[in-house]
A = this chain, B = another copy of it.
Amino acid sequence: MPPLYQKIADDLREKIRRGELRAGDRLPTEPQLQEQYGVSRNTVRLATAQLVNEGLVESIPGRSGGIFVRERITLTFHASRAEFPTGAYAETDAWRSEVADQGHEASQEFDLRIEALPAELAQRLGVEVDSHAAVRRCVRFVNGQASSVQDTYYPMDLCQRVTELLSPRDVPQGTTRLLASRGYEQVAYEDEILARMPTPAEAQLLDLPPGTPVLLYIRTGFTNERAVRVSVTSFAGDRNRLAYTLGDSAVIGRFRDREEEPH
């Protein structure tokens, strides 16, 4: 026999799944749930806490507050399209236009810092573990809400040869083209993708409700001679999707007539 709070959570989850409670709807208040299920307030709170942790609902305090079924929009980031020379735009513009294509408003904020390179990133860049790097951070906003944060690490020796990398502003033509024009053309990328719960810093920056994972996307870029940069992107897991196209992409275009909902 499952515990009471579990049964209450199951019941509410089922109501959401069946559409009896829909995105944006308010659940019964805590006193109402106490009465409906004949339990104490703490038990009700154990149930709703579970739904919050699953990312299904969100609780908002105050007179007009309550517990609400969360809604979600999902953006698709086409990782296999980004940053290849065939692209007509800089990578940031590619992102911007991709968001616009999906019917939303895009903006981004840059900054630059110099930092000691974390060991696992130094390894990817093939440089010494105690070396430093220029970190270009790009926080991307969709409809005014932070959606992802990307930190791109460039080894310092490279920055000394391509000093524009140390500009605290966006590089108009894009850093990929900038590097290519200086003889550092990236010919291969290695991407790694993980899912985990956010750090408190990520949760704050991306305004993630409890129970929302981040999709972590790590791209290492290589010229024929060396690794030139590694970028670490944290996507808000409830609002983003990554996409890759492998093989003959013309085939896929022929069959695409969708922009479907997440699974």
Contact = CB atoms under 8 A, between A and B. Distances in A.
Interface of A: 10, 13, 42, 49, 53-55, 74, 76, 79-80, 84, 120-121, 123-124, 126, 186-197, 200, 210-216, 218, 222-224, 226-227, 232, 235, 237-238, 240-249, 251-252, 255, 257-258, 260-263
19 contacts: A53-B197, A80-B246, A120-B262, A123-B258, A126-B255, A126-B257, A188-B249, A188-B252, A189-B244, A189-B247, A190-B252, A191-B245, A192-B242, A193-B193, A195-B215, A197-B211, A222-B251, A224-B248, A226-B255
B197 A232 contact: no
A171 B74 CA distance: 36
Nearest to A50: B210
A79 B246 CA distance: 10
A10 B203 CA distance: 14
A103 to B, nearest CB: 18
A127 to B, nearest CB: 11
A237 B53 contact: no
A243 B126 contact: no
Nearest to A6: B200
Contacts of A186: 247
Quickly give the copy total for this chain.
Answer: 2
B243 A124 contact: no
B222 A263 contact: no
A123 to B, nearest CB: 5
Given A194-B241, A213-B237, A251-B222, A189 B263 contact: no
Contact of A193 (B54, B187, B242, B260): B242
Contact of A237 (B195, B218, B226): B195
Contact of A252 (B215, B218, B222): B222
Contacts of A260: 120, 123-124
- A42, A74, A194 interface centre (most CB from chain B within 10 Å): A194
Contacts of A214: 195
Contacts of A224: 248, 251
B190 A245 contact: yes
Nearest to A232: B263
A126 to B, nearest CB: 6
Nearest to A247: B188
| 4 closest residue pairs by CB, A with B | A213-B213, A188-B247, A195-B195, A195-B237
